[in-house]
Amino acid sequence: MAVVCTLTLNPCLDRTLDAATGAVLDEQTGGKGVNAARVLTALGEDCLAVAPVGAGERGARFRLLAAREGISLRGVPVAADTRRIDTWRDGDAQRQEYVPGSDASAVETDSLRHALRESLAGARLLMVCGSAPGPRLASLAGEAIRMARELGVATLLDSHGPALTEGLAAGPDFLTPNEAELAELLGRGIAPGEEAAAAEELFARHAAEGLCGVVVTLGARGAVWAREGGTLFCPAPKVRTVNAVGSGDCFAASLVWSLLHGCSDQGALAIACAAGAANAAVFPAARVGRKEIEAMLGWSLPS
């Protein structure tokens, strides 16, 4: 029985290769919810990652790596093999080969739905994470949030594209967009300095549907949190950015951990910003835990 469940709609194998030699420098499981599960597990939280996992060679590799990384995985078999994303590194420069992934069939979507319902038994929070590679999985983002509400489980939506739209319509408790996703949801551009007002506008639009907070990540500038009673801001710790990939996943996972452990809203925002910065300062992605976050904060996390 997990305290937190993550649903990853479009998981992947993440490989990093040397641009000069082609040598594989690192390989790990990927996808926003899987990354979040890795961070939550490193923080000592009982977390279960639910995801469609391909039946082919890459799917088998994904399961093996998840076990090695200590991630509790409920991988629902799907026919399409798990996608692989390759990042080519040349010093600090990176070039990524993005692969969109494949939608699930109707039968596979039913299996995912069933697995998620079973996995939510006794959970306190569900994170619905990542893009969806097709309409069935995009619709599942909204279904998952409605399912969690029926079961008394809080929800956080960290997505983009159709899955973000479907998920928001279902009424999540928390939403963690970046600036581009915030603009997408509002249907307009956002000028520098207007992020807090834009977050307040989006919160006001959806508060009646159960939304408790819109937490907008601003990259190296930090984050703003629009909620009942006002808007909070927290600057991000200053770091030399090595690899920003996965910083949003670390932010969302640490925000969830902080709220579950009774931190104040301002404290939770500070912890989340520290986790995002800690991730940006190191390679590879989403391997931060208590030690790295505390080093950014300068104070100890609650036990």
pLDDT value at residue 40 = 98
Instruction: Give the pLDDT confidence of 183-239 residue by residue, as tens digits.
Output: 999 999 999 999 999 999 999 999 999 999 999 999 999 999 999 999 999 999 999
Look up residue 178 and give its DSSP letter: B
Q: How far is CA 274 from CA 127, 193, 221, in A?
A: 20, 21, 12
Residue 24: is its pLDDT beyond 90? yes
Whole-structure pTM value = 0.97
CATH architecture of 173-303: 3-Layer(aba) Sandwich (3.40)
Instruction: Give the pLDDT confidence of 246-285 residue by residue, as tens digits.
Output: 999 999 999 999 999 999 999 999 999 999 999 999 988 8
Q: How far is CA 4 from CA 14, 64, 78, 140, 270, in A?
A: 23, 22, 23, 18, 21
Give me the residue spans of the domains in the chain.
Answer: 1-92+104-171, 173-303
Instruction: Give the pLDDT confidence of 245-254 residue by residue, as tens digits.
Output: 999 999 999 9
Q: Decide if domain 1-92+104-171 falls under CATH 3.40.1190.20.
A: yes
pLDDT value at residue 90 = 85
Residue 92: is its pLDDT beyond 80? no
pLDDT-derived band at 93 (thresholds 50, 70, 90) equals confident
pLDDT value at residue 95 = 81
Task: Assess contact for 66 and 49: CB atoms under 8 A.
Answer: yes
